[in-house]
Structure 1
Amino acid sequence: MGEQQFTAVELCSGVGGQAIGLEQAGFEVTAAVDIDEDSCRTVSKNRPGWYVIHADLKRLNPLDHAPLDHADILSCGLPRSPYTIAGKQLATSDSRDTLQAVLDMASFVRPRVLLLESIPTFLRAPKFEAQRVKVREAVEDLGYEMVSTVLDATSFAVPQHRSHAFIVAMRSEDMARFEWPSPVPGPCPTLGETLSASMGSGGWTGAAEWAARACEPAPLVMGGATGRGGADLGASRAKTIWARWGIYGGSIADAVPGPDFRLDPEVAPRFGLPRLTVNQVALLQGFEPSWQITGRKTSAYRQISQTTPPPVAAALGGQIAVALGR
């Protein structure tokens, strides 16, 4: 007999990072839900066999979609903007907050595992204690136990300093077999190693020199949140950090540097440093080059900058599958 394949429903699926990781861990993705039309097109383009639902989760009736009847794992990457420390309003008053809708869906689906992902402040900041209590109460109502942690992407060979908070909830007999994934052995790839070939693909002869200087994993990819401006690498402090590693973060490029580009950090960074393309950002997020992102540049960058790197989700998904008895 073949190995049992568990099923997964992904809420707030975005560009598909967490769902791809679960697929790599052996889960069959039976449904993916997102409010963003371009994100749904991206997922459908790359996985035409998946059941993709373009809908506002807070208004979605699961009875209208048969694949939502059951899932071994119900997974969601919560929108990040409501859970930033900088936000002045409570998460529950942010229209992008989907936490209650996710917990309502969990009560309907009653999966064997509930997996929530967010930024570390969701677990750590006193400001969001009410949201954590809401999760604990929902988990108790389902009869589950709950554990949480923060995983760093560099521990799983993703070439970027990026931390993700995870909550895993399941029945006690399954939780007894669950362990958080261990870091992969060996050094994490650097920014230069990851993008050297791409940077040189347009004929830029300085790509090797640039890559040698970019000798650490990339800074956190950020920016692009819905309603927060266009495609760039974040606020001024973030752009300054990127500049130290030879990247101009004021905008996203349409193409890699050409043969006439000259690396010159002493001149205005806008003209003396290369910019990242959307496809390069995808590589820094741990995506395979074959993953195609749809939509205009700002939309494409928003999709890829907000996602969970697939290798992180794959490592965690593998441990969850073991807990379920695979």
Structure 2
Amino acid sequence: MGRLRSVDVCSGAGGLALGLERAGFDPVVLLDNKSVACETLQRNRPAWNVLEMDLLDFDPVEHPESYDVDLLSAGLPRVKSSATAQRVETGIERRLLGATVLLAHAVQPRALLIENVPGLVDGPEFDEVRDYIQKELEHLGYGFHWFIVNAADFGVPQDREQGVLVALKNRFFSAFRPPKPTVARHITAGEALHASMSERGWTGAVAWAAQADRVAPTLVGGSDKRGGADLGPTGTKKTWARMGINGGALSNEVPGPNGVQESDTSPSGLKKITVPQTAILQSFPNDWVFAGKKTAQYRQIGHASPPPVGEALGKSIAEALDS
């Protein structure tokens, strides 16, 4: 089967698009409304057609290359489930979800992939959203697969559940199978980060890696409206602490030979991880460059879909389309 064509919206740092590229999909258009994310995409893939644009303003008529594509993919901002955001029209996250559905209505790709919160799959608080999506698309000849994947099952050293919708034109629907785990054993955070923790000769790296004997908690990119980068809410920080990690902030460097991190002025004896190490926990390749300063880089990484998940989903979609 030859290469397939896709449109990727809310592309962020490109985690989903990179995974889909590995699965055989070449994006004809990628768009994001953040300049730093677009810079990241263009630094890593200069040949990609990256548009700095809000999805709500995207008109496929002005970008005819977006028609007749095999896949429309969207790693959308996490949809809220609070009582104040119950309607599809309420909140920017739900408006972007609605805009993705309307774009699919306009360009009618052979397959649609939306990745979001697990609750979107079966949570009663999202019943209205699921009904909206299906009513908008089922009369166009789409069938729907809703399921949840955990990134850890695909070799990502992180406990990261993702809700997934794969909608396919009816002639491909029955051939689709959700991807099966690609690893028999989860990779622990200690295994994933040991090499980087040892880069400056820290003699305690082996003992630290043995303590970090589980997958990392879900990385949380945080909001653009709040302060610097940290690894999540209080409960998550406690989990990090049990792994020997200070989740309150990120370091500028890994520990030196005596375990000192020069940029860490906190009284904690726990180690802080660096931005490149968070990219390892998301399974980005080592040569993937992130634009912006530390906090902007971390937010791109924390909000991304891990590339191995996108690759597994893409392969399942490609196999169905090949049928």
Give the TM-score normalised by the residue count of structure 2.
0.93
Which amino acid is 2:31 matched to? Answer: V
Residue 100 of structure 1: aligned partner: 98
Alpha-carbon deviation of 1:167?
0.5
Match of 2:193 in 1: 195
CA distance in 2, matches of 1:4, 1:300: 34
Aligned partners of 1:248 and 1:270 also within 8 Å: no
Percent of counterpart pairs with the same letter? 40
Q: 1:48 is matched with which residue?
A: 46
Alignment-derived partner of residue 179 in structure 1: 177
Q: Which residue of 1 aligns with 2:302?
A: 305
1:321 matches 2:318: yes
Are 1:273 and 2:231 counterparts?
Answer: no
The residue number in structure 2 matching 1:34 is 32
Deviation at 1:125, TM superposition (A): 2.5
- Residue 254 of structure 2 aligns with which residue? 256
RMSD of the TM alignment (CA)?
A: 1.8
**Cα gap change, 1:235/1:92 in structure 2, threshold over 3 Å: closer, same or farther?**
farther
Match of 1:163 in 2: 161
Aligned to 1:20: 18
SS at 1:312's partner residue?
A: helix
Mapped partners of 1:185, 1:69: distance in 2: 36
Partner of 1:150: 148
Deviations 1:272-303 (A, max 9, x none): 11111111111111111111111111111111
**Secondary structure of the structure 2 residue equivalent to 1:33:** strand
Q: Give the aligned partner of residue 218 of structure 2.
A: 220
- Over 3 Å counting, the alpha-carbon distance change for 1:269 and 1:220 in structure 2 is farther
Deviation at 1:253?
Answer: 1.5
The equivalent residue for 1:89 is 85
- CA deviation map 1:159-189 (0-9, x unaligned): 1111011101112221121111111242121
- Determine if contact 1:225/1:306 at 8 Å carries over to the other structure: no
Write the deviation string for residues 71-108 of structure 1: whole angstroms up to 9, x where unpaired. 1000001211x32x457434632234301111111112
Separation of aligned partners in 2, 1:233 and 1:185: 26
CA distances 1:246-269 after superposition (whole Å, capped 9, x unpaired): 110001112212223269xxxx98
Contact kept in structure 2, 1:262 and 1:272, CA below 8 Å: no
Query: What is the count of residue pairs matched by the alignment?
Result: 318
Deviations 1:124-162 (A, max 9, x none): 332222111111112213211101100011111111111
**What are the ranges of 5 or more consecutive residues in structure 2 without an aligned counterpart?**
none
1:286 aligns with 2:287: no
The 3 A distance-change label for structure 1 pair 270 and 310 is farther
The answer to whether the Cα contact below 8 Å between 1:7 and 1:71 also exists between their aligned partners in 2 is yes
Contact 2:76 2:93 survives alignment (8 Å) = no
CA contact (8 A) 1:219 1:241 kept: yes
Gaps of 5+ in 1: none
Within-5 A mapping of 1:44-83:
44-80=42-78, 82-83=79-80
DSSP-derived class of the 2:304 partner:
coil
- 2:71 maps to a residue whose letter is I
